[in-house]
Amino acid sequence: MGEMEEAKAKAAAAYNAAADYFDHPVSSFWHRFGRRTVERLDLREGETVLDVCCGSGGSALPAAEFVGPKGKVVAVDLAERLVALGAAKAREKGLGNIEFSTGDMLALGYPDASFDVAVCVFGIFFVPDMAAATKELWRMLRPGGRLAITTWGPDLFEPANSAFWEAIRTERPDLMKGFNPWERISTPAGLREMLGEAGIEKTEVVAEAGSHPLNSPLDWWLIAMGSGYRGTLAQLDAATLARVRTRNLVLLDGCEKITTNVLYSVTVK
């Protein structure tokens, strides 16, 4: 299996596993940051939007509301269980202008200039060649269209992230990660550099510092179970998982918030 196929398989497996907790109230930041991304785009009625790595609709659903019944949103994700969650929410909201489907952002097959807007929230870093993926999104935009890429800023989920990996290291050091892919684009300079490699210049990048409250360390564990961390947890047997959970929660005793710094970028073609 090549690097690209392996990355896609890992992302799909992790988020399919995480689907049962993905929309848990403790993880409300997915939808909060998705909506904030859409609000920065000044969407107009009748526009067409492509949302890749759409998850369960954090940005796609508000986009559908903004563009109205004459507009259209195409929402795509590798994880079919998240796609199903998003489609169910669209039906509940009576949004007939949004189409959820399972697919690969690099192989959607749309012609050049197919969309007014392209959106990718917390997803571009899952592709080994981020610049190539960004270039593909740019290709599908019409002149005057807007590309929005939202990614994590520095110190994601700290101190819970460090506590999580310390608990993993104690039990399964072979699963430790030396580098998270979003770290390359976690600063405005790093994000602009990646966009520049895709041939995209004059990008507006806004860094937003923030945090997410925890009522108890258990909130963090639910977040981990409903996010990419689940891919690591799914590789543990039941006894090891229980020990990792206990160790992670002990390390976070007294923690009341985690870091959620975010970068928003919008570029007009």
The string of pLDDT tens digits covering residues 201-244 is 889 999 999 999 999 999 999 999 999 999 999 999 999 999 99
The mean of the pLDDT values for the chain is 94
- Reduced to 3 DSSP states, what percent helix, strand and coil does the chain have, rounded to the nearest 5? 50, 20, 30
Q: Quote the pLDDT of residue 179.
A: 66
What is the third-level CATH fold of 3-154+179-213+257-268?
Rossmann fold (3.40.50)
Please provide the DSSP assignment of 43-81 as one string. Answer: --TT-EEEEES-TTTTTHHHHHHHH-TTSEEEEEES-HH
Please provide the DSSP assignment of 79-131 as one string. Answer: -HHHHHHHHHHHHHHT-TTEEEEE--GGG--PPTT-EEEEEEES-GGGSSSHH
CA 238 to chain CA mean position, Å? 28
On whether the CB atoms of residues 71 and 38 are closer than 8 A, the answer is no
Within a 13 Å sphere around the CA of 237, how many CA atoms are in the beta-carbon half?
2
The string of pLDDT tens digits covering residues 8-26 is 788 888 898 899 999 999 9
Reported confidence tier of residue 164, pLDDT bands at 50, 70, 90:
very high
Locate the domains of the chain by residue range.
3-154+179-213+257-268
